[in-house]
Amino acid sequence: MLRLPASWTWDFWLAKDQETYHLFFLKASRALHDPDQRHWRATIGHAVSDDLRSWTEVADALVPSDSPAPDDLATWTGSVVRDDTGRWWMFYTGVDRLDQGQVQRIRAATSTDLMTWHKHADLILESDPRWYENLADDNWQDEAFRDPWVFRETPDGPWHMLITARARTGPKYDRGVVGHATSPDLERWALQPPLSQPDAGFGQLEVLQIAEVDGRRVLLFSCLHTEMSHERRTAGQLGGVWSVPIDRATGPFDITKARRLTTEAAYSGRVLQDPSGRWVMLAFRHVDGDGSFVGEIADPVPVAWNADGTALRLVDPPAEWVPEEHEVVLGATRYPTGS
């Protein structure tokens, strides 16, 4: 577990170099008292471990830039990949003071050792109103364009980026889509149409990840009940971490097949292999039993596919993470529910 006495921690992403796991995470001082204010004070912390359980905090990876800059207010969620030359790339979300944190942009930094990072001054990826909702549409609390997840399907293929974004059509809480961009070299990016359709019951699909768990591909995302469709909320559904079985890492993705992996006690789940090769999920502890924000990163929990292969499930998780098993039927689609 990673619990910092002076800071809350929440969204995170990981990289592995030889036998060392590197954990990059959002952090903000507990001296703020109100955890809702943490978003506007977020920096990117860094810790290392050889077992995913015992973490040693090291120097922070990134902090907001001096003004004016696209990330001069806060630095948010991202991912790390290694290019063909061995250089590490961190793609992350930046928000600025000029837009009062309401417009999200994707930035990058590079490192040779995962310890010291240098921002890429010219790489800034912004939303495109041809496909994605923007702040001028006045339909959401911000211009959602964040949480870049970068990967390649093949060792010599193009790079892909999945992005938390929103479509320009549909009910307010039904517009969440998987945004998409492509690049030949991690420096030049072209924004593409989304890889999923709106009207799946989610206002946004946060902290996206693609993985191949025990030979089957899966898409992970997180969404709270407060950001789900009216239909889902009326049915009493709650949020948490969700999984979707997929055929291809580059879509298209049918988000109506999403099944809830955790309750809202856990959020921003990431799956990876532990030192033994077993697939596990890490998540941050979101709220406790009375709904108070916790802000610490939990120990890994094993994951496996359920019997029919329609979703991941946790193996021996904390009791408060476990959704109820029953489902409700909404229209023609079966959605999971739980407490």
Contact 252, 313 (CB under 8 A): no
Which residues lie closer than 8 Å to 138 by C-beta, 6 or more apart?
Answer: none
pLDDT tens digit sequence for 267-305:
999 999 999 999 999 999 999 999 999 999 999 999 999
- Report the share of the chain in percent with pLDDT over 70: 96
220 contacts 208 by C-beta, under 8 angstroms: yes
Q: Looking at residue 334, what is its pLDDT?
A: 37
Say how far residue 68 (Cα) sits from the centre of its chain. Answer: 27
* CA 293 and chain centroid, separation: 18
- The least confident of 17-21, 184-188, 272-276, 308-312 is 308-312
Every domain of the chain and the residues it spans:
7-336
Q: Is the pLDDT of residue 338 over 50?
A: no
Residue whose pair of structure tokens reads 């799956």 in the numeric block: 271
Determine the pLDDT at residue 325: 58
Q: Is the pLDDT of residue 106 over 90?
A: yes
pLDDT score for 336: 39
Task: Using the predicted structure, report yes or no on whether residue 327 has a pLDDT greater than 90.
Answer: no
Residue from 318, 222, 223, 210 nearest 272 by CA: 210
Higher pLDDT, 330 or 311: 311
Q: Where are the alpha helices (DSSP H) in the chain?
A: 230-234
Quickly state the pLDDT bin for 84 (edges 50, 70, 90): very high
- Does the structure show a pLDDT above 60 at 159? yes
**Rounded mean pLDDT of the chain?**
94
Residues 6+ apart with CB under 8 A from 292: none
User: If pLDDT is split at 50, 70 and 90, which confidence band does 252 have?
Assistant: very high
Tell me: pLDDT of 233 over 90: yes
Q: Say whether pLDDT at 332 is over 70.
A: no
| CA-closest candidate to residue 47, choices 106, 87, 7 | 7
pTM for the structure as a whole: 0.94
- Determine the pLDDT at residue 326: 45
On whether the CB atoms of residues 85 and 331 are closer than 8 A, the answer is no
Supply the pLDDT for residue 324. 78
- pLDDT (tens digit, 9 = 90+) per residue, 112-144? 999 999 999 888 999 999 999 999 898 899 999
Q: What size, in residues, is the chain?
A: 339
Distance CA 140, CA 21 (A): 36
DSSP sequence for 124-183: EE---TTTS--GGG--SSSB-EEEEEEEESSTTS-EEEEEEEE-SSS-GGG-EEEEEEEE
Structure tokens given for 133: 């909702």
CB contact burial 305-316 (16+ within 10 A = b; e otherwise): beeeeebbbbee
Report the amino acid identity of residue 117: W
193-222 pLDDT per residue, tens: 999 999 999 999 999 999 999 999 999 999
pLDDT at site 339: 28
CA distance 191 to 65: 25
Q: Which CATH class is domain 7-336?
A: mainly beta
Q: Which helix (H) or strand (E) holds 280?
A: strand 279-287
What are the structure tokens assigned to 105, written together? 């942009």
Q: What is the pLDDT of residue 122?
A: 86
Separation between Cα atoms, residue 325 and residue 339, nearest integer Å: 10
pLDDT bin (cut points 50, 70, 90) of residue 97 is very high
